[in-house]
Homo-oligomer: A and B are copies of this chain.
Amino acid sequence: MDYAIRERDADFLLKEVFDVQSSWAEIDEFSHLTPDLVGAVIAEGGRVAAEVMAPLNELGDEHGCQWHDGEVTTPPGFKEAFSQMTAGGWLGVSGNPAFGGQGLPKSIAGLVEEMFWAANTSLYLYGTLTVGTCLCIDAHGSLEQKQTYLEKLYSGQWTGAMALTEPHAGTDLGIMRTKAEPRPDGSYDVTGTKIFITSGEHDMAENIVHLTLARIAGGPAGSKGISLFIVPKFQPMADGSLGPRNGWRSGSIEHKMGVRGSATSVIHYDGAQGFLLGEAHQGLAAMFTMMNYERLSVGLQGLGAADLAYQAAARYAQERIQGRSPEGPQNPGAEADSLLVHPDVRRMLLTQRAHIDSCRALAVYAGMQLDLAKYAQDERADRLSQLLTPVVKAYLTDRGLECAVMAQQVLGGHGYIKEWGMEQIVRDARIGQIYEGTNGIQALDLVGRKVLRDGGRTLFELLDEIRETTVDDEFVSELDQACDRLEATTRSLLRRAQEQANLPGAVSTDYLELVGMTLCAWMWARMATLAPADDFGTVKRETARFYFARLLPRTLGLERSIMADASVVMDMPEALFTA
């Protein structure tokens, strides 16, 4: 499926909308970056996405992965494509330069990741898990661990995986049972079963490095007794060669709705040798330090899927002729008019575009906050990035499915058959709402840890920033009202949550959507205000108007819904859900 990269959008966001150069100037690590260099990175990433990854997307879905006696075979061509992709250094884009990473800002890496996700979600999953593994080792590993693993992982010679979930323990990691018994040499014997391990076993790299959560025997119960271990498939030797095969194996792979080119394993650890990463009993905290980066990345998966689907739907609508305009034939010489004369088709396409462009802007903004927090030790940016992360993860993956389904609808029956590729996008996009913490968990994180815990301080600061932004007159009043709505809702929540323990969970999903929609209104107002006087600018201004008139009104319902008390969801007796 054709996929056009959004170079002009990236350029517009980085320069005009966010002026990232100014903030980079204050960060030593980024002061060498120029718009030209960044543009070249994005263009080259786009080339890899379009030429190396995209051609294997449908084939990966068709073939899926094969499991035989513990070994996993990936779809034809995946290994070679992964090798080409990693040879370009793309797994280390925002990696630590001291160990072979490129050290680029997350805001740039995010724009590249969006393209990789769009081009081939299954293939990029092998990459993103590796990126996450690197982040974790870089943040918590000893110097020796960094030296042993990072370069091999950044280069894609080895890949990474996260082993968290167990059959009975998904969201609730506190009840996991995988055990770690200390060995005399300071390493551990890891024993237990993990499920849903993306890239846990495959044939694309010579070694696979698991970051595995387990309990050290005798440690505290619950989530405070969990430690993180590096459990490689082959033990790295001091001379850089690979030692003996470690004691874990893939018990099977899952047959999934989508991302079928990505191998999801059950992994059995049978006294596998593991090495503590970070402090004992601090495993969950260690894992969560990289979560903000990973969750932003999964949000970008939703965005990539949405844009891939939108582009296909827009092309179809432009080429397909069917029916006549309500105003009479627009193309009287032809048998019918273009689908684009039909207002409802335009509504579907504009809805997608309105979500896609504002979500991309929001992701870049969130990436900038992560960069400022990490490199400039900016305390406010740190709080803000933590507030934004669950919103970006959940809001963007929710919009990803919504847009993919809507794009599929534009094609009618053709959208439902495999031949056109749209149904694969829907199936692939669906996982984004589930993994890396379900979107329900993101919403709880937002309301509980990011809003209620600091009494709304960070959120109110953000609202101040929105209100202080200069935007075109036509958006001022609606944007103000949206801010007022979010503020009133938040204050009500802060007050009522003190007496209703179940209130945050009862309204969290609606609240997250309200935050996401308000932020996207801000993004649209900024983009429309700064849009140039050309076709590119026309798209921005018209789509902004559509967003304000047709989508932002959803917040009226969300506000009302959030004002309901917890009893509305809690009063139904448990037994009656299955009655």
Give A contacts to B, CB under 8 Å.
165, 168-172, 175, 195-196, 254-258, 264, 311, 314-315, 317-318, 321-323, 325-327, 335-336, 338, 340-350, 353, 401, 405, 408-409, 412-413, 415-419, 423, 426-427, 430-431, 433-435, 438-440, 443-444, 501-506, 508-510, 535-536, 538-539, 542-543, 545-546, 549-551, 553-561, 564, 566, 568-579
Q: Do residues A326 and B556 form an inter-chain contact, with CB atoms below 8 A?
A: no
Find the B residue at minimum CB distance from A555: B557
Which B residues are CB-close (under 8 A) to A255?
A: 417-419
Q: Do residues B549 and A323 form an inter-chain contact, with CB atoms below 8 A?
A: no
Which B residues are CB-close (under 8 A) to A569?
A: 343, 346-347, 350, 546, 550
Q: Give the distance to chain B from A342, nearest Cβ to Cβ, in Å.
A: 6
- The distance in angstroms between the C-alpha atoms of A523 and B51, with both chains bound, is 54
Q: Do residues A344 and B443 form an inter-chain contact, with CB atoms below 8 A?
A: yes
Q: Do residues B438 and A416 form an inter-chain contact, with CB atoms below 8 A?
A: no
Say yes or no: A323-B172 contact (C-beta < 8 A), given A409-B433, A546-B569. Answer: yes
Q: Do residues B314 and A577 form an inter-chain contact, with CB atoms below 8 A?
A: yes
Q: Do residues B574 and A344 form an inter-chain contact, with CB atoms below 8 A?
A: no
Q: Give the distance to chain B from A566, nearest Cβ to Cβ, in Å.
A: 6
Which B residues are CB-close (under 8 A) to A423?
A: 256-257, 427, 430
Q: Do residues A318 and B578 form an inter-chain contact, with CB atoms below 8 A?
A: yes
Q: Which of B405, B501, B535 contacts A579 (CB 8 A)?
A: B535
Which B residues are CB-close (under 8 A) to A314?
A: 577-578
- The distance in angstroms between the C-alpha atoms of A345 and B569, with both chains bound, is 9
Given contacts A255-B418, A340-B574, A550-B564, 13 further A-B contacts (CB under 8 A): A172-B336, A175-B322, A254-B418, A314-B577, A315-B578, A317-B577, A326-B505, A327-B501, A409-B433, A409-B434, A412-B434, A539-B579, A557-B558
Ranked nearest first, the 6 interchain pairs of A and B with the lowest CB-CB distance are A343-B505, A257-B423, A553-B560, A343-B506, A549-B564, A553-B557
User: How many copies of this chain are found per oligomer?
Assistant: 2
Which B residues are CB-close (under 8 A) to A349?
A: 577
Say yes or no: A413-B557 contact (C-beta < 8 A), given A342-B505, A343-B570, A577-B317. Answer: no
Residue among A327, A430, A575 with most chain B CB within 10 A: A430
Q: Do residues A556 and B560 form an inter-chain contact, with CB atoms below 8 A?
A: yes
Say yes or no: A434-B419 contact (C-beta < 8 A), given A342-B505, A343-B506, A427-B427. Answer: no
Q: Do residues B426 and A257 form an inter-chain contact, with CB atoms below 8 A?
A: yes
Q: Give the distance to chain B from A573, nearest Cβ to Cβ, in Å.
A: 7
Which B residues are CB-close (under 8 A) to A195?
A: 413
Which B residues are CB-close (under 8 A) to A555?
A: 557
Q: Which of B315, B323, B434, B549 contacts A413 (CB 8 A)?
A: B434
Q: Do residues A440 and B344 form an inter-chain contact, with CB atoms below 8 A?
A: yes
